Amino acid sequence: MSSTPDEMALLARARHVLVGGVNSPVRAMGAIGRDPLFIDRATGPHLWDTEGRQYIDYLGTWGPAILGHAPPQVISAVELALPRGTSFGAPTAREVIFAELVCELVPSIEQLRMTSSGSEAVMGAMRLARAATGREVIVKTTGGYHGALDGLLAEAGSGATTLGVPTSPGVPAGATAATRLVPYNDVAAAAEALDGAAAMIVEPVAGNMGVVPPADGYLAGLRAACDAAGALLIFDEVMTGFRVALGGAQGRWGVRPDLTCLGKVIGGGLPVGAFGGRREIMAELAPVGPAYQAGTLSGNPLATAAGLVTLRSLMADGVYEKLEENGASLEDAIVASGAPVRINRVGSMLTAFFTDAPVTDYASATRADTEAFGRWARALLDAGIYPPPSQFEAWFVSLAHGRREIEQTAEALARAA
Ligand SMILES: Cc1ncc(COP(=O)(O)O)c(C=O)c1O
C-alpha cells in the first residue's frame, strides 16, 4: 500500500513539527519499514485512517481498548462527566469509588495512588520501595519495559547479573547505577541479584519483548527470593492488569506482590496510571509519610469516569472466558495461515515470533527474524489488519472482536502468509 499525496503531505507537516512525525517512537512504524498511518477514528474492533481505509485493529491502543474502541458505556460516562469540569486538582467522590473497586479486585492492593501514566506509576512505586526499605538497588529483567524513566532504561547486558548500563543517550550513568539486570524467567539469577536490593520489578507476563509467559513457578520463585532478601516484589501490571484476569497476573497466578503498577485498561483509553500495595508500605508516601509523589492531573475526573465504567464492564460474567476464546481464535487463525511463527499467548495478548525456537526470555525473543516480521506486518496492513508495528510488541484482542472479524482476519492472514 503506497501513501496517497494527501498522506505524504500530512506526514511532511508532521515531521516538520513533531519529532519523526510522532509522539511516541514505535508509532513511526520504522520497525516494519514503512511510514505511519494517521488514524481518523475508531469504533469497536475497527480503525479508519485519514484516507478512509478500514482495519481490524489488534493494537488496541497498546492495550487499553479491551472493550473495543469507543464503547458506548465509556462514551456516555465521559459525556456525563465532561460538563461538570475536566479537572479540579482536588479530591472527588469518584476517585474514591474507583480506588475502592481496584482494591476490591486486585488481590494485593490495599491502598492506591493514581497518576496520569504507567511510567509515572512505576516511578512512584520505585521511589516508595526505596523509601520503605532504605535501600537503593532495583532489580529488573532484560527486555522488561516499565516506561521511559531514566532509572529503568537499562536493558543491555549479558550473564546472570549485569550492572545497569543506560540504553539511551541522555540517561546519566548514575541513574542506572542502582539498577541490576537479570534474565526473565530465571529465579536463580534474580535471587543472586536481590542481595541488598530494595526491590525487584517485573512484568509478570512479559509484554515488551513480545509476549513471554512466566515459566511454571517463576513468579512464586521471585516472591520467595524477595522475601529471603528482605526486598519488595513489584509487579508492573500496566499491561497485564485487568487484561489477563480481573485480578491481573497476580490473580491468575496467585502470587501477591508488595506493590503493583497499573495503567492502560484502568483508564478506559484516557491517560491514567496507578500504583498500590500493602497499607504499611503505602503509608511511606506523602502526605502520610515522607516519600514525595504528586501530579496535577492525578485522579482526573474524566479518566476516572472512563476507568470506572471499564472496570465495571469487565466484572460481567463470562468476560474473561470470551477474551480467552477470542485470543485462541486469533492464535488458531495465525497458525492456520502457515506463517512460520512461534506463538506465545496469555488470554487476549499474544505475539507471533518469526523463529523456530521457544521464546522464554529476551535473548530468545531477539533471535526472531525482524525483517520477516516487517514484511508480514506490511502485508497485513495492505490486507486491512492492523498489527502492532514491531516484532517485540503484543497483539491485543478485545471483547468487540467477534466471529466475523476473526474470519476476516483469517482470510487476510492467508493472503499475507
Ligand atoms: C509494562 C509496562 N509498564 C509501563 C509502561 C509505561 O506506561 P505509559 O506508556 O502509560 O507511561 C508500559 C507501556 O507500554 C508497559 O507496557
Known catalytic residue at 145: yes
Residues in the chain: 417
List Cβ neighbours of 404 (8 Å cut-off, separation of 6 or more).
none
Taken in order of first residue, the domains within the chain and their CATH numbers are: 5-70+317-416 (3.90.1150.10), 72-314 (3.40.640.10)
Each residue's pLDDT tens digit, 89-120: 999 999 999 999 999 999 999 999 999 999 99
Known catalytic residue at 58: no
Whether residue 161 is predicted with pLDDT greater than 70 in this model: the reply is no
Closest residue (by CA) to atom 4 of ligand 1? 146
CA angle centred on 131, ends 129 and 132, rounded to 5°? 65
Each residue's pLDDT tens digit, 46-104: 999 999 999 999 999 999 999 999 999 999 999 999 999 999 999 999 999 999 999 99
- Whether 204 lines ligand 1, by a CB cut-off of 6 Å, is no
Q: Which of 386, 97, 147, 398 is nearest to 268 (CA)?
A: 398
Each residue's pLDDT tens digit, 247-276: 999 999 999 999 999 999 999 999 999 999
Is residue 35 packed enough to be buried (19+ CB in 10 Å), middle (13-18) or exposed (0-12)? middle
| CA–CA dist 358, 101 (Å, integer) | 38
Do the beta carbons of residue 380 and residue 235 sit within 8 Å? no
What pLDDT does residue 173 have? 83
- Whether 122 lines ligand 1, by a CB cut-off of 6 Å, is yes
How far is ligand 1, taken at its centre, from the CA of residue 326, in Å?
A: 24
What pLDDT does residue 160 have? 35
Enter the C-alpha cell of residue 347. 488470554
Known catalytic residue at 386: no
What pLDDT does residue 327 have? 98
- Give the number of the atom of ligand 1 that is nearest the alpha carbon of residue 24: 9
Closest residue (by CA) to atom 7 of ligand 1? 118
- Whether 236 lines ligand 1, by a CB cut-off of 6 Å, is yes
Out of 55, 58, 145, 362, the active site residue is 145
Closest residue (by CA) to atom 13 of ligand 1? 147
Query: To the nearest 5 percent, what fractions of the chain are helix, strand and coil?
Result: 40, 15, 40
What are the C-alpha distances in Å from 389 to residues 27, 348, 357, 402?
A: 7, 18, 22, 23
- Whether 260 lines ligand 1, by a CB cut-off of 6 Å, is no
Span 209-228, average pLDDT:
98
What pLDDT does residue 8 have? 96
| CA–CA dist 399, 54 (Å, integer) | 19
Beta bridge partners of 344: 351
Whether residue 344 is predicted with pLDDT greater than 50 in this model: the reply is yes
Distance of CA 18 to the CA centre of its chain: 24
3-state SS class at 183:
coil
Whether residue 148 is predicted with pLDDT greater than 50 in this model: the reply is yes
Span 384-404, average pLDDT:
97
- Give the number of the atom of ligand 1 that is nearest the alpha carbon of residue 147: 6
DSSP single-letter state for residue 85: -
Find cell 542506572 and name the residue: 176
What are the DSSP E strand ranges found in 83-223?
111-115, 138-141, 162-163, 179-182, 199-202
Enter the C-alpha cell of residue 304. 476516572
Whether residue 163 is predicted with pLDDT greater than 60 in this model: the reply is no
Q: Which of 344, 340, 366 is nearest to 354 (CA)?
A: 340
What pLDDT does residue 157 have? 32
Span 8-16, average pLDDT:
97
Pocket test for ligand 1, best of 212, 238, 298, 362 (most atoms within 8 A of CB): 238
How far is ligand 1, taken at its centre, from the CA of residue 103, in Å?
A: 21
**More confident: 331 or 417:** 331
| CA–CA dist 90, 388 (Å, integer) | 37
Closest residue (by CA) to atom 8 of ligand 1? 118
What pLDDT does residue 158 have? 35
What pLDDT does residue 165 have? 66
Span 410-417, average pLDDT:
93
What pLDDT does residue 159 have? 36
Out of 236, 258, 362, 386, the active site residue is 236
